Amino acid sequence: MSDVTYYVAMPFLIDADGSPVAGAAEECQSSTAALRRAEALSRGVGHIGAVAFSRSGDPMTGEFGDATLLRKFGNVPEDLATL
């Protein structure tokens, strides 16, 4: 099977300790849809920001490349790799 690309929007919230945490990721149909959804999520109740990203790979083997950040909205941690 050939590689497929998934587009995702994911909000960020603050946990009880005051640290930013990733919320539930939402799969989108396209990069444009992911950008729109992330922007809307960044303004959601309790959210401090959101990101839109894509990730490509082979779902049959489970091998995927690193995520590609499309855009950040709001107050999102600089280093997303630590989350």
Write the pLDDT tens digit of every residue in 63-82.
999 999 999 999 998 887 75
d(CA 41, CA 79): 20
Residue-averaged pLDDT of the chain: 92
CA dihedral 26, 28, 31, 36 (to 10 degrees): -70
Is pLDDT at 60 greater than 60 in this prediction? yes
pTM of the predicted protein model: 0.88
